[in-house]
């Protein structure tokens, strides 16, 4: 089956970046089925005809989904996926750029010929096609299995996405991709990392809240433990993770501005408030999946057959 791509993008106040992202999608040619852009409660209204510089071949396939309230990325992506009709979802941030079609085609060929592969992870690249100095799904120059991806540069089969129930909205953002990929592997679907420099990510400082992100980085480790660890393991790991989160926030001064304890208190309050919902959604992973996911954080052995 030849896959058709639904591109899913969320944008609030980075309109200039989103316009460049849309302009870059012309490179997908006939692979582009549709573009779904969430207008995520911008601070100021978007100007009329704001995407007039985007190629008509892309504008014809563009649908703007309006949210009057600011949604977190997990909820926003799930909202877009509910409306998407393509067989593959290409996740991009509004400050991502498509650099070329070749890397996307390589990922699509893998998804088309191997039903056991559910997602393709790409590196964050610069506009010059070099590796960006940020965390990557795998620190290697060859195709390999991966424990996760980043939604600024990833593709997922639509049927797998919906089978898994999409992103876990209780996480809001931060580590949601890893949580999704844990369920991904637990259901028997592989995540493949391709080192193709086909997607640029230029993280814009606009509309980014580093203190909120730091809090969610700390908190969501607890959330994932409750969602997926066996009770016997959770009884040993939860308290050390609370201590670890406090230590992380204390030393993440670049993100917290040094005022870390109020963030820790907020995180504990959130956790206590959301605990009933976490317990309702709790689905322990198999021990095999948990061992495999930990192994994939360090084992980046080539999988040449899949990269052909």
pLDDT tens column, 204-215 = 777 778 899 999
Residue 47's nearest CA partner among 18, 70, 25 is 18
Q: Is the pLDDT of residue 1 over 70?
A: no
Tell me: pLDDT of 307 over 60.
no
From the candidate CATH numbers 3.40.50.2300, 3.30.470.20, 3.90.550.60, 3.30.300.30, the one assigned to the domain spanning 5-201: 3.90.550.60
Distance CA 139, CA 300 (A): 8
pLDDT of residue 184: 95
Q: For residues 176-198, give the mean pLDDT.
A: 96
Q: Nearest-CA neighbor of 238 among 207, 263, 268, 266?
A: 268
Q: Are 173 and 73 in contact (CB under 8 A)?
A: yes
List the domain boundaries for the chain. 5-201, 210-284
Digit-coded pLDDT (tens) for 243-298: 999 999 999 888 888 889 999 999 999 999 999 999 999 999 999 999 999 999 99
Return the structure tokens found at 64. 């703007």
Q: What's the pLDDT tens digit per position in 115-140?
A: 999 999 999 999 988 887 778 889 99
Beta bridge partners of 9: 37
φ, ψ of residue 94 in degrees (nearest 5)? -70, -15
Query: What six digits make up the tokens of 49?
Result: 């005809």
Residue 24's CB is within 10 A of a number of other CB atoms, namely 20
Does position 308 have pLDDT exceeding 60, yes or no? no
3 state DSSP class of 298: coil
Largest distance between two CA atoms of the chain: 57
First CA to last CA distance, the chain: 17
- C-beta of residue 96 within 8 angstroms of C-beta of residue 25: no
Mean pLDDT of 296-306: 80
Question: According to the model, what pLDDT value does residue 241 have?
Answer: 92
Contact assessment for residue 121 and residue 222, using Cβ atoms and an 8 Å cutoff: no
Q: What is the pLDDT of residue 209?
A: 84
Lowest mean pLDDT among 82-91, 200-209, 214-223: 200-209
Q: Does 3 score more than 80 pLDDT?
A: no
């Amino acid at each position: 089956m030849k896959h058709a791509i639904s591109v899913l993008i969320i944008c609030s106040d980075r309109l200039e970046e989103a316009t460049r992202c849309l302009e870059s999608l012309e490179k997908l040619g006939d692979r582009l089925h549709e573009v779904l852009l969430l207008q995520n409660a911008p601070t100021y209204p978007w100007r009329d005809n704001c995407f007039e510089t985007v190629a008509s071949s892309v504008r014809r396939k563009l649908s703007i989904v309006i949210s009057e309230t600011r949604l977190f990325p997990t909820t926003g992506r799930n909202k877009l996926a509910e409306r998407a009709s393509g067989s593959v979802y290409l996740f991009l941030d509004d400050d991502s750029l498509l650099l070329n079609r070749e890397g996307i085609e390589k990922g699509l060929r893998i998804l088309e010929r191997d039903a056991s592969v559910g997602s393709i992870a790409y590196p964050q690249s610069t506009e010059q096609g070099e590796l960006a100095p940020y965390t990557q799904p795998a620190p290697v120059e060859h195709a390999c299995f991966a424990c996760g991806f980043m939604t600024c540069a990833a593709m997922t089969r639509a049927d797998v996405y919906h089978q898994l129930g999409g992103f876990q909205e209780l996480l809001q953002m931060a580590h949601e991709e890893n949580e999704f990929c844990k369920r991904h592997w637990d259901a028997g679907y592989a995540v493949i990392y391709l080192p193709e420099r086909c997607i640029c990510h230029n993280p814009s400082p606009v509309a980014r809240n580093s203190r909120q992100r730091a809090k969610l980085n700390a908190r969501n480790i607890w959330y994932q433990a409750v969602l997926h660890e066996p009770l016997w393991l959770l009884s040993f790991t939860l308290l050390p993770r609370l201590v670890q989160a406090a230590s992380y926030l204390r030393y993440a001064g670049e993100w917290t501005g040094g005022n870390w304890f109020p963030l820790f208190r907020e995180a504990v309050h959130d956790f206590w408030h959301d605990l009933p919902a976490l317990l309702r959604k709790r689905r322990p992973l198999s021990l095999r999946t948990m061992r495999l996911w930990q192994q994939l954080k360090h084992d980046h052995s080539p999988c040449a057959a899949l990269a052909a």
